[in-house]
């Protein structure tokens, strides 16, 4: 079908999908023109080659290798020996493994819950035209520019119970045993990642808010809606796709969080913050059990993919529905 | 190839963080021990890193294609150059190593090449290259469990084979130290750098304020905990966040109550050692100390790395700290005034009725050089290793604050950066009937995390004695 290049359905003027194919070309000129048009719209498969090769080499091949490795026993010395399902059965009976999956989901969930409202408020505020907004936004953006490692080291020092912030604010922190207790350590991880990543998500919301047509607000104002009602009934619904984008980013980032756990808690106290990604590192690179490490990695891939698919499905992101329905 | 990506990802954040795993920790200790003379050398960062990446990439490729690794050989041996590679942890201690290598190369036809692995992940990186053509001929390690997997894999050369014409090489070193690099009765390591026994440090001013004297027995220690608590200070600073400082309390208590035999039995695979009455008694005493509030309540949020617990001691907020001998040089650098005037040090208290000798020590006995079986230059390597008890080596180590453990060290103590402290340590180490290398270094590296978890959870009260015993019995000693 020649109409394949234009997205069906969005252009009312276009031929309906069931329309009969156009008559065969009568002359060479028309044929050439058509070929030209088709060439412009659909570049040859060769154009995709670099990306496909890159993806295959650095994503698919390693994934297959890891899958193979997960059925072997290997300490890094000598060559891997086939171990059958040993690593997998061990993992499924491993309380730390099961706990690590829950912890990953919990930390991700808490991250979404904390960061989403914050970044929406900040993003919407930053989209306005107040005085000094640009300067404040720039300052607020700084945490994102720092590396996770630096941020974690910084907070680790700031949260020292005897010489850091908790020592100055006993009424809030008690004895300051933040990283030495389960709730404290989880709280610190959620806080530090929110501190670092809220600016990024605010940026997404800022952009999305600016894209909302002013006419909607004018209409709402005419109907007598105040600022809060405008926010609730115009801004928030219009930000729907931005929320989905931002939440998916948070989920992907949350499930693969590693560096901050490594530096702030090392999976501790005990195994209280041993999330799956850290558990994988611990198995493979600290305990020299590459087979089990590979199995954990593969499990993480499966879980993360499944969760992403569910989110995409539930949010309607796959249908790519626009937020302009009220306008046309 | 996946592995190579992981490696580079995994190692980057780790390089910047405070050292924690045993391998890293030992290195961190060594680093801090020599920090007084800290002219940080511009370590040759690129070559080992590049080599590592190539090695791992080749390993991954070999894994994929099932081909031999030799195709990836960089050909350092094939070039015909007569040389051997010495791999060491890249830190301030390298100044002495560079000096020794330069000295050796002046007279030797076969040249020694010094390679350093920067960053804290020495053990991890070593493990990835040791079974490849990029492996060094001689490498730095911590003896004990840190080289056991390599010995089991048949990669190391027993020193009897290296020093065929000098079987008495071991006589040049203190036996308690030399023995910690023996595996199945065969020696695999020549001591290099210095010894690091664990001592009970204190803030003399804080002790005096509370009317406390250096405790000689466990009961005295408990009594001083009470007095210090009454004065409103944390009796004992503990960097529980690093986990290994907590482990030191267990190591000493087990030794004092049961003697070194119990742990040796456990490491040899006799799991009943952990459920013995002595083991239970040691645990109950740990419990007693924690419950008495000796460490305060937030010790797991405090780290030694980064200066948390050491600062507690120096600032007078704590009375004691159990720490390796590197605490002295650390304090000297961070709080020179405190180190000069108020820093006290003594040995771990004795326990009444305990089977252990109060002169027993625990800690890092030393660092060692081990030799790979595949080396093509065993004669030159042997010649090089003999320098580790030379006059020049001892003087150079002493000058940067390390205490070498050769039998003739005592004659050079005057050249130390602190002769009195060096002499104190040397006396302890030479008199010690037993010098137990840290638990996390005696067991293979793979068991480090479970050991730390068992210790942290018992100290925190998250598990009871049975839980601890079960966790330690689950360790794989082989």
Interface contact B17-A269, CB threshold 8 A: no
Asked if the Cβ–Cβ distance from A177 to B13 is below 8 Å, we say no
The answer to whether A296 and A92 have CB atoms below 8 angstroms apart is: no
Other beta carbons within 10 angstroms of residue B188's beta carbon come to 25
Chain A (266-325) residues lying within 8 Å, Cβ to Cβ, of chain B = 266-271, 281-282, 284-290
Contact at CB, A175 and B240, closer than 8 angstroms? no
pLDDT recorded at residue A44: 80
Cα dihedral value B85, B91, B96, B99, nearest 10: 50
Which among A66, A162, A258 has the least Cβ separation from residue B302? A162
Residue in chain B closest to A290 (alpha carbons) equals B3
Q: How many other CB atoms are found less than 10 A from the CB of residue B213?
A: 10
Nearest CB to A180; choose among B5, B20, B300: B300
Residue A310: count other Cβ atoms within 10 Å of its Cβ. Answer: 11
Is the backbone of residue A288 left (phi > 0), alpha (psi -120 to 50) or beta? left
Q: Which two tokens stand for residue B441?
A: 């270094």
CA of A161 to nearest chain B CA: how many angstroms apart?
7
Q: Do A62 and B10 touch (CB under 8 A)?
A: no
Contact B60/A at CB under 8 A:
yes
Classify strands B182-183 and B234-237 as parallel, antiparallel or unpaired. Answer: unpaired
Q: Does A99 touch chain B (CB under 8 A)?
A: no
Chain A nearest-CA distance from B445, in A, is 6
How far is residue B339 CA from its own chain's centroid? 23
pLDDT of res. B64: 42
CB proximity B81 to A under 8 Å = no
Nearest to B457 among A75, A76, A270 (CB): A270
Distance from CA of A216 to the nearest CA of B (A): 47
Give the DSSP letter string of B169-230. Answer: GGGGB-HHHHGGGEETTEE--EEES--EEEEEEEEHHHHHHTT-----BHHHHHHHHHHHHH
φ/ψ (deg, to 5) at B73? -60, 130
Q: How far is A200 from chain B (nearest CA, A)?
A: 21
Nearest residue of chain A to residue B152 (CA atoms): A77
Task: Scan residues 191-250 of A and list those with Cβ closer than 8 Å to B.
Answer: none
Q: Which residues pair with B236 in a beta bridge?
A: B320
Say whether residue A66 is in contact with chain B using an 8 A CB cutoff. Answer: yes
- How far apart (Å, rounded) are the C-alpha atoms in residues B395 and B403? 10
Chain A residues 132-161 with CB within 8 Å of chain B: 148-150, 152-153, 156-157, 159-161
Which of chain B's residues have a Cβ under 8 Å away from the Cβ of A58? 1, 5
Strands (E), chain A: 72-73, 81-82
Q: Is omega for the bond preceding B38 within 30 degrees of 0, making it cis?
A: no
Q: What is the pLDDT of residue B324?
A: 93
Q: Within the 258-317 window of chain B, which residues sit less than 8 Å (CB to CB) from chain A?
A: 296-303, 306, 308, 311-312, 315, 317
A81 in reach of chain B (CB within 8 A): no
Digitized pLDDT (tens) for each residue of chain A, 328 residues in all: 333 344 443 444 444 444 444 444 445 455 454 455 555 566 788 888 999 999 999 999 999 999 999 999 988 787 888 988 999 999 999 999 999 999 999 999 999 999 999 999 999 999 888 788 888 888 888 898 999 999 999 999 899 999 989 988 888 888 889 999 999 999 999 999 999 999 999 999 999 999 999 999 999 999 998 889 999 999 999 998 899 889 988 988 898 899 999 999 988 898 999 999 999 999 988 888 899 999 999 999 998 888 878 887 887 766 655 666 555 5
Token pair 């490849």: residue: B132
Cross-chain Cβ contact B16/A153 below 8 Å: yes
Residues 442-471 on B with a CB inside 8 Å of A are 445-449, 452-453, 456-457, 460, 462
Closest alpha carbon to A146 in A200, A217, A86, A215: A200
Closest residue in A to B11 (Cα) is A285
Q: Which positions ≥6 away from B344 have C-beta within 8 Å?
A: B201, B202, B203, B204, B207, B214
Interface test with B, best of A162, A282, A295 (most B CBs within 10 A): A162
First-last CA distance in chain A: 28
- Quote the minimal CA–CA distance from B44 to chain A in Å: 23
- Compute how many other C-beta atoms are within 10 angstroms of the C-beta atom of residue B107: 7
Location of structure tokens 């993360």? A304
Cβ contact B103:B392 at 8 Å: yes
A163/B20 touch (CB, cutoff 8 Å), yes or no = no
Which of B301, B321, B458 would you mutate first to test chain A, the one with the most A CBs within 10 A?
B301
Task: Select the residue of B1, B5, B10 nearest A285 (Cβ to Cβ).
Answer: B10
Chain A: closest CA distance from residue B127 (Å): 6
The complex's ipTM works out to 0.77
Kindly report the number of other CB atoms within 10 A of residue B297's CB atom. 16
Phi, psi of B196 (to 5 degrees): -140, 75
Q: Is the Cβ of A184 closer than 8 Å to some Cβ of chain B?
A: yes
Residues of chain B with C-beta less than 8 angstroms from the C-beta of A262: 13-14, 17
Contacts of B7 in chain A (CB under 8 A): 285
- Distances in whole angstroms, Cα of residue B474 to Cα of each of B272, B451, B477: 11, 10, 9
Q: Cβ separation of B124 and A286 shorter than 8 Å?
A: yes
Distance from CA of B338 to the nearest CA of A (A): 18
Question: CA B412 to CA B391: how far, in whole Å?
Answer: 8
Residues in chain B: 478
Residue in chain B nearest A270 by alpha carbon: B453
Decide if B144 touches A, using CB distance below 8 A.
no
Chunk chain B into consecutive blocks of 10 residues (it has 478) and report each block's average pLDDT, rounded to whole numbers: 35 35 43 37 38 43 39 43 89 87 94 85 84 92 89 92 88 90 92 93 96 95 96 95 95 96 93 96 96 94 89 95 91 90 95 94 93 93 94 90 90 88 91 90 88 95 95 89
Total-model pTM: 0.80
Indicate yes or no: CB of B20 within 8 angstroms of CB of A266.
yes
**What pLDDT sits at residue B414?**
86
Query: B302 and A160: CB-CB below 8 Å?
Result: yes
Helix (H) or strand (E) holding B10: helix B2-16
Query: Which residues of chain B neighbour A273 with C-beta distances below 8 Å?
Result: none
- Interface contact A62-B5, CB threshold 8 A: yes
In this structure, the strands spanning A81-82 and A72-73 are antiparallel
Distance CA A193, CA A185 (A): 12
């Amino acid at each position: 079908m020649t109409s394949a290049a234009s997205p069906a359905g969005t252009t009312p003027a276009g031929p309906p999908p069931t329309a009969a194919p156009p008559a065969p070309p009568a002359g060479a000129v028309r044929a050439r023109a058509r070929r030209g048009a088709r060439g412009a719209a659909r570049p040859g498969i060769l154009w995709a080659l670099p990306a496909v090769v890159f993806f295959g080499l650095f994503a698919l091949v390693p994934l297959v290798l890891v899958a193979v490795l997960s059925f072997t026993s290997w300490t890094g010395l000598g060559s891997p020996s086939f171990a059958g399902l040993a690593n997998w059965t061990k993992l499924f009976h491993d309380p730390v493994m099961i706990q690590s999956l829950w912890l990953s989901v919990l930390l991700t969930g808490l991250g979404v819950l904390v960061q989403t409202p914050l970044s929406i408020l900040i993003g919407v505020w930053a989209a306005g035209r107040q005085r000094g907004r640009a300067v404040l936004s720039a300052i607020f953006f700084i945490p994102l520019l720092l590396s996770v490692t630096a941020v974690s080291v910084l907070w680790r020092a700031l949260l020292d119970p005897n010489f850091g912030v908790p020592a100055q604010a006993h009424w809030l922190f008690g004895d300051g045993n933040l990283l030495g207790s389960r709730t404290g350590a989880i709280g610190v991880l959620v806080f530090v990642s929110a501190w670092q990543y809220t600016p990024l998500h605010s940026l997404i919301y800022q952009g999305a808010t600016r894209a909302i047509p002013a006419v909607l607000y004018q209409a709402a104002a005419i109907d007598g809606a105040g600022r809060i009602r405008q926010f609730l009934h115009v801004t928030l619904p219009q930000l729907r796709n931005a929320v989905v984008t931002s939440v998916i980013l948070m989920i992907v980032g949350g499930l693969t969080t590693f560096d901050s756990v490594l530096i702030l808690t090392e999976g501790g106290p005990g195994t209280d913050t041993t999330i799956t990604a850290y558990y994988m590192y611990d198995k493979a690179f600290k305990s020299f059990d590459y087979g089990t490490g590979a199995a954990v990695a593969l499990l993480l891939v499966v879980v993360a993919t499944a969760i992403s698919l569910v989110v995409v499905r539930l949010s309607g992101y796959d249908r790519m529905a626009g937020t302009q329905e009220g306008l046309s | 190839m996946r592995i190579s990506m992981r490696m580079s990802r995994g190692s980057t954040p780790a390089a910047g963080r405070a050292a924690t795993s045993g391998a890293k920790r030992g290195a961190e200790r060594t680093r801090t021990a020599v920090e007084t003379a800290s002219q940080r050398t511009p370590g040759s960062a690129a070559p080992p890193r590049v080599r590592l990446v190539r090695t791992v990439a080749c390993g991954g490729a070999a894994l994929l294609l099932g081909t031999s690794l030799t195709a990836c050989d960089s050909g350092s041996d094939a070039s015909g150059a007569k040389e051997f590679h010495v791999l060491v942890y890249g830190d301030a201690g390298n100044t002495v190593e560079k000096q020794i290598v330069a000295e050796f190369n002046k007279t030797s036809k076969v040249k020694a090449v010094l390679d350093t692995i920067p960053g804290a992940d020495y053990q991890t990186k070593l493990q990835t290259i040791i079974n490849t053509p990029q492996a060094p001929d001689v490498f730095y390690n911590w003896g004990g469990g840190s080289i056991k997997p390599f010995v089991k894999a048949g990669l190391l050369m027993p020193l009897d084979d290296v020093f065929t014409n000098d079987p008495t090489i071991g006589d040049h070193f203190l036996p308690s130290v030399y023995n910690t690099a023996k595996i199945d009765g065969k020696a695999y390591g020549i001591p290099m750098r210095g010894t690091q026994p664990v001592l009970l440090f204190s803030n003399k001013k804080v002790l005096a304020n509370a009317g406390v004297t250096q405790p000689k027995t466990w009961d005295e220690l408990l009594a001083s905990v009470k007095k210090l608590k009454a004065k409103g200070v944390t009796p004992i600073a503990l960097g529980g966040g690093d986990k290994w400082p907590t482990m030191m309390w267990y190591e000493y208590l087990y030794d004092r109550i049961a003697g070194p035999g119990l742990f040796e039995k456990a490491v040899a695979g006799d799991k009943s050692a952990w459920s013995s009455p002595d083991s239970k008694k040691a645990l109950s005493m740990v419990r007693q100390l924690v419950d008495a509030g000796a460490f305060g309540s937030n010790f797991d949020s405090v780290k030694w790395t980064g200066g948390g617990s050491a600062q507690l001691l120096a600032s007078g907020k704590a009375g004691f700290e159990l720490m390796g001998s590197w605490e002295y040089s650390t304090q000297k650098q961070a709080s020179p005034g405190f180190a000069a005037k108020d820093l006290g040090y003594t040995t771990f208290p004795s326990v009444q009725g305990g089977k252990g000798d109060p002169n027993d020590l625990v800690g890092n006995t030393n660092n060692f050089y081990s030799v790979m079986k595949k080396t093509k230059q065993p004669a030159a390597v042997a010649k090089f290793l003999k320098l580790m008890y030379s006059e020049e080596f001892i003087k150079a180590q002493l000058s940067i604050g390390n205490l070498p453990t050769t039998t003739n060290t005592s004659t050079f103590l005057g050249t130390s950066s602190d002769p009195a402290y060096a002499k104190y340590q040397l006396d302890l180490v030479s008199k010690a009937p037993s010098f137990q290398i840290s638990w996390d270094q005696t067991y293979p590296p793979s068991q480090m995390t479970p050991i730390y978890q068992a210790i942290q959870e018992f100290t925190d009260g998250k598990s009871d004695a049975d839980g601890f015993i079960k966790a330690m019995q689950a360790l794989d000693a082989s």
